[in-house]
Amino acid sequence: MRYAELHCLSNYSFLRSASHPSELVDRALELGYEAIAVTDECSVAGIVRAYEAAREQPIKLIVGSEFIVPGAGIFVVLCPTRRAYAELCEKITLFRQRSEKGSYAVQLEDFLDGFDDALLLWWPQCESEGLSYAKALNLGHQLKRRWRDRLWLLYERHYQHNDKAVFRMVCRLSKQVQLPVTASNGAVMHDASRQPLLDILSATNANQSLLQHPEVCALNTERRLRALNELQACYPSSWLMESAAIADRCTFCMSELQYEYPAELVPKGMTAQQYLRQLTEQGAQQRYPAGVPESVIHQYEKELQLIAEQRYEYFFLTIHDLVEFAQSQGIFYQGRGSAANSVVCYCLKITAVNPAQFDVLFERFISKERDEPPDIDVDFEHERREEVIQYIYKKYGRKRAALAATVIRYRFKSAFRDVGKALGFSEQQLQTYRQNLDRRDRTQNWKEQLAEQYPALVQSKRGQHLLSLTEQLMGFPRHLSQHVGGFVIAANELTQLVPIENASMRDRTVIQWDKDDLEVLKLLKVDVLALGMLTALRKSLELLKSKRNLTLGLADIPQEDPVVYRALQQGDSVGVFQIESRAQMNMLPRLKPSTFYDLVIQIAIVRPGPIQGDMVHPYLRRRAGKEKVDYPSGAVKQVLQRTLGVPIFQEQAIKLAMVAAGFSGGEADQLRRAMAAWKSTGKLQQFEDKLISGMRARGYSESFAQRLFHQICGFGQYGFPESHSASFANLAYASAWLKVHYPAAFFVGLLNSLPMGFYSPSQLIQDAKRHGVRFLPADINHSQWDYQWLADQGNCVRIGLRQIFGLARSRIESLLSQSGKTPFTDTEQLRRGGLHESDIQALAKADALTSLSGHRYQAHWDALSLSDQQMPLFNDVADTKSEISMKPSEAEDIKADYASTGLSLRRHPMALIRKRSEVKKCVTAEALAGCRSGQVIEVIGLVTCRQRPGTKSGVTFLTLEDETGNMNVVVWANTATLYRKAFMSAQLLWVKGVIEMSEGVIHVVAGRLDDKSELLQLSKLASRRFH
């Protein structure tokens, strides 16, 4: 008995199927099917996953797609050949682009034209769809004329009440139109056990609870992959045999898809290989003006050879083309990724990291053995990335370039919500259950936590369904979204390769595959990403040029400057790329970076991966010489030597699996993928046995093997590749260098590139002040839209109007360009200059009209009289300037500053209350350094940051700010519980605790907390003048 499943939906037909593509393939194999066609609805999004599952298995995968055609039934298009596949992709693109994101539009006429090679299975869904027999007959004849011997009637029996009628109709049609019939399961699940999940999805699709609308549920479990004997019991065997005959006609395999690179990048008369060599050699001359060192030539020769073998020239040339465009436009960029840190990329100016700068044995940048596409991401200035994207569209056209998709999957929260709603729980109930779950709690998973907190829920049948179905649903694809910047560029029309559909963003189109799919098919994508720090650095360096006549590019910044490292060793890194977070800042004085490679480690080590894998402390101890560095073998030493025997980078973990556990290149590659997707799939565990037994067999101790596995798990999603870290370190060093030597230019660049980074403008400005930068307030007669460095006054910066909330940039810039140098003298001029009432009020509120009105209250009062809508009865009232008798107090000014700009140049609010007895006795941030470790002290400050790292259960880090700086407070779980309210909601927090000092890091470990927010209330600050 031969059978092929020709109509089957995977969960990439969103909300219509309850099985992953791989589950369908595996089950079909188990049941002895000869072939399976995954025919998602107007989509091939799931086909790559199915291909991956069917690859190297004795089952044929057929590519196809299902279309619901109004008034005609269900059409299943199958691809016997590569040509048919291209037709299908083009048609899907057409149907999808007619419609909004996530939907498609087809009509019968679409199938009466085109489709020269594809096969069509037609399931005439009769009466219910308004398709009478006469109409079906007519339709059959029409289709037959077009499709000839490529057309079949499809019959699916799901044990419904009308089976007999449908069967009769199909037989009659077959006879009258002379069409062969084939039968299929029309499966939407691989196995009957998925019926509950299928019902949940159907209810979600209908936006109903299935308790109230059971009609959305499946009547039975027949839409599954059924055993051959079950199929024989419900279909004539000739119809089943026909399915196998159709499968025999389908010879197309996904592996036939060949990527062809855009060829126009290579000048006529040259091969890609020659051109890449030419560019590399030219670049090398520029990079090494004093003569290219022999070692460098040797290295790039090796790399070029490898590139030639793998035929990756076009990939490098494509990226070179993009960065060349960026260079020509003065857009800062930086390449990263394992391939980016090659000498070739350095010479092509894709990256500024000189590979010779640090003595590192990188994993070979392109692994021949692993046969994976090279990895290069290019970051561009975040404000100007769009220019690069538009360049790509312009150069290659929208038919040849599109963004990769990102598959948005069900995560806990969305799965819990959808399952809950389908099971009739109210939104409020679900929120209550959810809000107390600590998803970062590693000791108890969410199910255990729910069981503990809501035992009644977990004991009820509905509650049990909620839990088990949520778990099943997690990881299911929900819809396609656009990748942040991964472009696929093809030599010819991309639609011959993969369908393109509309993204939600206007003028953006995405292909139906995500980055993993592209990787499986070995299609190259170019990552065009956005990075705020590049914008900031360009702006700072431009300032150096215009104000100090100092022309520097990223690559020209003096290397290994000890002054820069000295500052970093003090933890002075606010605003510095990648190492400004609180955790990074605490690590700096411990790790004491003194070379570029230390920075590479610094960036990679303060990550959840190394922290969970318990790699931080061993590394620090070894670095400080407190622990012996030993290696179980020479091979391990070679991998781990540069990080003192502690694996810190993702590459090291993989390399270790190869050298210590005997993983092959391919297996190591699988391990890498499993690491990346560990959290969502849990696949890493399957490597445990292999890894540990592999190491034991090679003579490593059980404890070493266990520790390594534990460390690899820790890397999970969060492991950081060394190559990325090196590129980031480059920017970290550049920003630190600027901060140390040209703080005004640095902070102006940063403040003009916000939002980005970790800190608010207020925090940045306070830090800048501590570095000797003076700030002048925003003022309509002195400020521009951006912050300005007043270089003639030294480190002096005028705050830009961009800092004021609620201002329209275009109107302000237009006003300032008109005014020239003449100062404004009253608010009416601003109005005439095109500002709206709301702009003038925003300026008044931010005290930026002081030079016109004297103080903010008067300015605001004046601005109000310029209302856009004149008040009818009062139009004739003489336009006398009325004076407001009130002047703002200092406290009122400070409060209004914060409300209108988020910062104040006046005194810190804490300074206003410092003289109060309860504040006076507290130690200031500045004075903390003078205390001794272990001393019991009181501190008070504004809470600027509450951080609860996922890694250390039960501890929360608070940052308190006073007028002298920041303080780090550690709150343990029991203290937090005891003083819960103050802990959670205080704006101004008083803490009594013990000071802890170690290696230059100062913490206050809280013992008692109190909410002192009321001290800052304006009514308490201001004297009560009206009484």
Stretch binding another protein (CB under 8 A), from 195-203, 740-748, 778-786, 1002-1010:
195-203
Confirm if 358 and 600 have CB atoms less than 8 A apart: yes
Instruction: State yes or no: residue 440 binds another protein (CB under 8 A).
Output: no
Rounded to a whole number of angstroms, the minimum distance from the CB of residue 780 to another protein is 17
Confirm if 964 and 925 have CB atoms less than 8 A apart: yes
Amino acid code (one letter) for 15: L
Question: Which residue, 394 or 981, is less far from another protein as judged by CB?
Answer: 981
Instruction: State yes or no: residue 57 binds another protein (CB under 8 A).
Output: no
- Cα separation, 10 vs 840, in Å, equals 57
Of 462, 617, 916, 921, which one interacts with another protein (CB under 8 A)?
462
- Cα separation, 522 vs 669, in Å, equals 14
- Of residues 71, 170, 167, the one with CA closest to residue 111: 71
In three-state secondary structure terms, 758 is coil
C-alpha distance from residue 119 to each of 115, 225, 249, 500 (Å): 8, 22, 9, 22
Of 856, 908, 1003, 1012, which one interacts with another protein (CB under 8 A)?
856
Q: 405: Cβ–Cβ under 8 A, 6 or more apart, which residues? A: 45, 480, 481, 482, 483, 510, 511, 512, 513, 514
Rounded to a whole number of angstroms, the minimum distance from the CB of residue 875 to another protein is 8
Rounded to a whole number of angstroms, the minimum distance from the CB of residue 803 to another protein is 18
Instruction: State yes or no: residue 290 binds another protein (CB under 8 A).
Output: no
Instruction: State yes or no: residue 229 binds another protein (CB under 8 A).
Output: no
Per residue in 856-888, is it b (16+ CB within 10 Å) or e — as a string?
bbbbbbbbebbeeeeeeeeeeeeeeeeeeeeeb
Rounded to a whole number of angstroms, the minimum distance from the CB of residue 987 to another protein is 13
Question: Which residue, 553 or 806, is less far from another protein as judged by CB?
Answer: 806
Question: Which residue, 413 or 465, is less far from another protein as judged by CB?
Answer: 465
Instruction: State yes or no: residue 916 binds another protein (CB under 8 A).
Output: no
Instruction: State yes or no: residue 854 binds another protein (CB under 8 A).
Output: no
Of 267, 269, 562, 872, which one interacts with another protein (CB under 8 A)?
872
- Cα separation, 856 vs 848, in Å, equals 8
- Cα separation, 302 vs 729, in Å, equals 26
- Of residues 849, 963, 857, the one with CA closest to residue 906: 963
Instruction: State yes or no: residue 887 binds another protein (CB under 8 A).
Output: yes
Stretch binding another protein (CB under 8 A), from 87-95, 613-621, 881-889, 904-912:
881-889
Of 134, 290, 456, 877, which one interacts with another protein (CB under 8 A)?
877
Stretch binding another protein (CB under 8 A), from 42-50, 482-490, 706-714, 855-863:
855-863
User: End-to-end alpha-carbon separation of the chain, Å?
Assistant: 98
Question: Which residue, 226 or 400, is less far from another protein as judged by CB?
Answer: 226
- Cα separation, 346 vs 352, in Å, equals 6
- Cα separation, 924 vs 962, in Å, equals 7
Instruction: State yes or no: residue 861 binds another protein (CB under 8 A).
Output: yes
- Cα separation, 191 vs 388, in Å, equals 48
Instruction: State yes or no: residue 220 binds another protein (CB under 8 A).
Output: yes
Per residue in 955-972, is it b (16+ CB within 10 Å) or e — as a string?
bbbbbbbbbbbbbbbbbe
Stretch binding another protein (CB under 8 A), from 254-262, 573-581, 711-719, 877-885:
877-885
- Cα separation, 499 vs 88, in Å, equals 8
Q: Which two tokens stand for residue 47?
A: 């086909």
Q: Which two tokens stand for residue 146?
A: 């077009």
- Count interface residues toward another protein (CB under 8 A): 62
Of 327, 546, 882, 1017, which one interacts with another protein (CB under 8 A)?
882
Instruction: State yes or no: residue 461 binds another protein (CB under 8 A).
Output: yes
Report which secondary-structure segment, H or E, holds 958: strand 955-962
Stretch binding another protein (CB under 8 A), from 67-75, 379-387, 457-465, 508-516:
457-465
Instruction: State yes or no: residue 224 binds another protein (CB under 8 A).
Output: no
Stretch binding another protein (CB under 8 A), from 56-64, 208-216, 780-788, 923-931:
208-216
Instruction: State yes or no: residue 213 binds another protein (CB under 8 A).
Output: yes
Rounded to a whole number of angstroms, the minimum distance from the CB of residue 196 to another protein is 5
Instruction: State yes or no: residue 298 binds another protein (CB under 8 A).
Output: no
Cα angle value 774/778/782 (rounded, 5°)? 95
- Cα separation, 699 vs 709, in Å, equals 16
- Cα separation, 919 vs 921, in Å, equals 5
Of 29, 884, 955, 1005, which one interacts with another protein (CB under 8 A)?
884
Question: Which residue, 729 or 846, is less far from another protein as judged by CB?
Answer: 846
- Of residues 292, 276, 271, 289, the one with CA closest to residue 345: 276
Question: Which residue, 144 or 465, is less far from another protein as judged by CB?
Answer: 465
Write the DSSP symbol of residue 579: S
Instruction: State yes or no: residue 974 binds another protein (CB under 8 A).
Output: no
Question: Which residue, 253 or 457, is less far from another protein as judged by CB?
Answer: 457
Instruction: State yes or no: residue 199 binds another protein (CB under 8 A).
Output: yes
Stretch binding another protein (CB under 8 A), from 308-316, 397-405, 419-427, 544-552:
419-427
Instruction: State yes or no: residue 460 binds another protein (CB under 8 A).
Output: no
Report which secondary-structure segment, H or E, holds 585: helix 582-591
Stretch binding another protein (CB under 8 A), from 76-84, 293-301, 763-771, 887-895:
887-895
Of 138, 448, 984, 1017, which one interacts with another protein (CB under 8 A)?
984
Question: Which residue, 624 or 973, is less far from another protein as judged by CB?
Answer: 973
Instruction: State yes or no: residue 631 binds another protein (CB under 8 A).
Output: no
Stretch binding another protein (CB under 8 A), from 569-577, 685-693, 873-881, 946-954:
873-881
Instruction: State yes or no: residue 233 binds another protein (CB under 8 A).
Output: no
Question: Which residue, 13 or 202, is less far from another protein as judged by CB?
Answer: 202
Residue recorded with tokens 């890091």:
1001
Q: At CB < 8 A and 24+ separation, what contacts does 463-470 make?
A: 465/196, 465/419, 465/423, 466/416, 466/419, 466/420, 466/423, 466/425, 469/196, 469/197, 469/200, 469/419, 469/423, 470/412, 470/415, 470/416, 470/419, 470/420
Instruction: State yes or no: residue 1013 binds another protein (CB under 8 A).
Output: no
Question: Which residue, 641 or 867, is less far from another protein as judged by CB?
Answer: 867
Of 229, 328, 435, 703, which one interacts with another protein (CB under 8 A)?
435
Instruction: State yes or no: residue 227 binds another protein (CB under 8 A).
Output: no
Residue recorded with tokens 């275009």:
810
Of 436, 504, 551, 664, which one interacts with another protein (CB under 8 A)?
436
- Of residues 278, 300, 302, the one with CA closest to residue 368: 302
Instruction: State yes or no: residue 195 binds another protein (CB under 8 A).
Output: yes
Question: Which residue, 274 or 882, is less far from another protein as judged by CB?
Answer: 882
Residue recorded with tokens 């791989």:
22
- Cα separation, 221 vs 194, in Å, equals 8
Binding mask 162-181 for another protein (x = CB under 8 A): xxx-----------------
Stretch binding another protein (CB under 8 A), from 277-285, 379-387, 883-891, 946-954:
883-891
Interface of this chain with another protein, residues 526 to 545, rule: CB under 8 A? none
At how many degrees (to 10) do helices 47-54 and 21-30 cross?
Answer: 40
Give me the residues that bind another protein (CB under 8 A), please. Answer: 127-128, 158-164, 195-196, 199, 210-211, 213-215, 217-222, 423-424, 426, 428, 432, 435-436, 461-462, 465, 841, 844-845, 856-857, 860-861, 864-865, 867, 871-874, 877, 882, 884-888, 892, 896, 980-981, 984-985, 1026-1027
